[in-house]
């Protein structure tokens, strides 16, 4: 199996530390014991909705700086956020062009860094450089760990739980990325939910946007919330007990927006938190106190109270 580097990004450590705990617990020795470590020098990915939108040169230089850190450690980056995935993956694609790579390296030379890709032995004495691999947590879990291993680790199958899965735009699109899931009919998070013993319900406009991306949440929060309201109406209609997503920014949007249009709201959590619940983690460690929509009624239902 490959070796990885954690890339938590901005939202998880500073808003939802429970996700960080869950991911570390699942990847650590109590979970699947992956060869994974922290790289302390990682910065913001940087956010595609802000830096990619305003100046591509700055965005690419900052993203490439993160890539060089993983390159020097010869590790694959495992992001837990769709935004980080989109930003870093897009950067590796831009860097395929030697001219672009040269320009970025001129900027990065000022901070003593250089992106080449990870050197591997090619035919004979030739060395080939492979781009740094950027992978989503779901990708690593589904492809490298495998669904069988996930269900084998489940201690408390979350039976009778109906889950509405929200993938998030940058998990799926644009399809020119090297996709790890089917962009038009994604299945991996649904399968993970089912491996945890729960059932994933289908609902209308499942692949729609949560409304937060591209700076819309920061710029015009009513517009973002109004899109979330539509999604939540469809999710309620399907009778889901909770929303599970692969992206902390979508989570933040669902979590914050719901109080603007409903009293109770549907609990929302990251797939790693859901998975950790099924694997028998102590629920206090999942940091649900930081969620605005209370998860307690959901947890009581799990315990059958």
Partner 1 sequence: MGEAEKTFLSGLHEKLVEDKVIDESQLDPNFAKEIVKYGGKDVMTCLQCGNCTGVCPISLKIDYKTRSIMKYCQFGLRKYTLGTRWVCATCYRCYEHCPADINPAEVMIALRHIAIREGVVPPFVKVAATNLVLYGQSVKPDVEIEKIRDELGLGDVHTKDPEYRSVLREIRTIIQATKYDKLIGIDAEGKA
- Tallying the residues shown for the chain, one arrives at 305
Judged by CB under 8 A, does residue 14 bind partner 1?
Answer: yes
Omega before residue 114 within 30° of 0, cis: no
Q: Given the rule CB under 8 A, which of 119-127, 140-148, 219-227, 260-268 is the region that contacts partner 1?
A: 219-227
d(CA 287, CA 71): 32
Fill in the per-residue mask, 190 to 209: x = in contact with partner 1 (CB under 8 A), - = not in contact: ------------------xx
Judged by CB under 8 A, does residue 27 bind partner 1?
Answer: no
Of the two residues 62 and 161, which places its CB atom closer to partner 1 in the complex? 62
Judged by CB under 8 A, does residue 223 bind partner 1?
Answer: yes
d(CA 288, CA 256): 14
Supply the minimum distance, in Å, between the C-beta of residue 131 and partner 1.
20
Fill in the per-residue mask, 93 to 112: x = in contact with partner 1 (CB under 8 A), - = not in contact: --------------xx-xx-
Q: Report CA-CA distances (Å) from 48 to 37, 54, 78, 91, 98.
A: 25, 9, 17, 10, 22
Judged by CB under 8 A, does residue 297 bind partner 1?
Answer: no
Supply the minimum distance, in Å, between the C-beta of residue 157 and partner 1.
25
Extended strands (E) in the chain: 4-7, 36-37, 76-79, 118-121, 127-130, 134-136, 162-166, 199-201, 242-245, 268-270
Concatenated DSSP letters of 35-75: -EE--TT------IIIIIHH-HHHHHHHHHHHHHHHHHHT-
Judged by CB under 8 A, does residue 42 bind partner 1?
Answer: yes
Binding interface with partner 1 (CB under 8 A): 9-11, 13-15, 17-18, 20-21, 24, 38, 40-44, 46-58, 61-62, 65, 107-108, 110-111, 113, 169, 173-175, 183-184, 208-209, 211-216, 218-220, 222-224, 226-227, 230, 285, 287, 289-290
């Amino acid at each position: 199996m490959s070796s990885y580097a954690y890339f938590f990004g901005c939202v998880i450590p500073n808003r939802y530390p429970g996700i960080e705990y869950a991911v570390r617990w699942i990847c650590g020795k109590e979970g699947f014991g992956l060869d994974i470590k922290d790289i302390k020098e990682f910065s913001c990915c940087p956010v595609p909705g802000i830096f990619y939108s305003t100046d591509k040169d700055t965005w690419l230089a900052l993203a490439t700086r993160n890539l060089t850190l993983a390159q020097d450690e010869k590790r694959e980056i495992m992001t837990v956020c769709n935004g980080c995935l989109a930003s870093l993956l897009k950067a590796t694609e831009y860097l395929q062009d030697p001219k672009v790579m040269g320009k970025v390296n001129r900027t990065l030379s000022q901070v003593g860094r250089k992106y080449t890709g990870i050197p591997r032995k090619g035919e004979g004495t030739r060395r080939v450089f492979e781009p740094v691999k950027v992978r989503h947590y779901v990708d690593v879990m589904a492809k490298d760990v495998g669904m069988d291993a996930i269900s084998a680790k489940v201690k408390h199958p979350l039976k009778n739980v109906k889950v509405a899965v929200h993938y998030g735009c940058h998990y799926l699109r644009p399809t020119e990325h090297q996709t790890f899931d089917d962009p038009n009919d994604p299945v991996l998070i649904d399968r993970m939910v089912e491996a945890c013993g729960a059932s994933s319900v289908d609902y209308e406009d499942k692949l729609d946007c949560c409304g937060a991306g591209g700076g819309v949440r920061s710029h015009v929060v009513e517009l973002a919330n109004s899109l979330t309201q539509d999604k939540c109406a469809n999710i309620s209609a399907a009778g889901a007990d909770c929303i599970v997503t692969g992206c902390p920014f979508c989570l933040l949007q669902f979590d914050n927006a719901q109080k603007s249009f409903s009293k109770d709201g549907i609990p929302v959590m990251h797939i790693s938190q859901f998975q950790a619940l099924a694997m028998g983690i102590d629920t206090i460690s999942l940091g649900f106190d930081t969620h605005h929509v209370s998860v307690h009624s959901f947890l009581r239902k799990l315990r059958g109270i």
